[in-house]
Structure 1
Amino acid sequence: MLRGRMCFSLLTTFFTSHKRTLKCLPCLVVYPLLWYSISELGIYPAVDPLDSTSRMLSPHMLGEEHYNTARGVQKVLQNYKNLQDIIAILGMDELSEDDKLTVACARKIQRFLSQPFHVAEVFTGAPGKYVELKESVHSFQGVLDGKYDDLPEQSFCMVGGIEEVVTKAETISKEAAA
């Protein structure tokens, strides 16, 4: 648990040691929090969408569709977080069917939040991807609606758009069949 809060501690130390910066902190629009536990899952950037916040996350700033999709993603991830103790003690088999769907959806969302960065191409060998905002919102709404329930969660990791997820899922199924 200590490692998970390391980034927050570093930021707190930085801001409290720089008085001028501390005065500007309320002016920030976005407060992203990075967690070591998320990076351990291989998800980069390791931003926690539940602990991070933005003053711009409102229907007036984003529009209804984007706002509702973002809140839907947060709700699914929060439900998954609430189920993790039960899963750790009793296992997945003891969950209701609805809870199993929530877990599957949340794990896909977690992985879909990963991004192949252009600046990381040198280190990963994978090309960076850029996805339009509107496409991202529609893709996440599709995951929430269950349109991609048949795809394996591995296909959602470090991809660009949802078409790439579908292509990666087809590749995974072909490799498994071979």
Structure 2
Amino acid sequence: MGTWDTGHFDNDTAADFAADLDEATEAGRTDLVRAALLRAIAAEEYLDSDEAVVAVAAAALVAEQCPGGPPVETVYGPDEPLPRFPEELRVLAVRALDRVTADRSELRDLWAEADGEAGAWQRGTAELRTALAAAISTAASPGISPVPAPAPSVTASSVPTGTITGDGGRSGARDRTRAGDTHGR
């Protein structure tokens, strides 16, 4: 995975995910985001960094639509307009972020090694989770816990695979020669 900064789309795999979103139909974009979140949630063993970065990117897109959510401001994110995501994706996004930042996550381990336990990447994912959790809490009906319940039993075989290329940009799916891209992609 080529990574050039701590932003949610500042790596080859997340940028490829953005390209996949741009190529999908409107309904397909929601399905790709849901699938990315579910794959991270369903990881029973060590969570691969490629699956984790796509889940973080998907969570960032969901969080952006929350009241007060942090905007996705990068040339590597999706170019095409995104649909309004269903509110249920907020809970999935929190669960996915919890899985990405937990033990047995390659991405968490890589960032802890590179930037420490309280570095910029950790603060960025915490900001996403905070925005998502606040939106869930605000939307919760009286008598319903605002805290996401434990994830339902999801197996890797029940999670759609989508069309995420994950090939480091070699698919040619998107021209990355926009301003500021000096990473040879």
TM-score range, shorter chain: under 0.3
TM-score (norm 2): 0.24
Task: Name the structure where helix makes up a greater proportion of residues.
Answer: 1
TM-score (norm 1): 0.24
Larger-Rg structure: 1
The structure showing larger relative contact order (alpha-carbon pairs under 8 Å, at least 6 residues apart) is 2
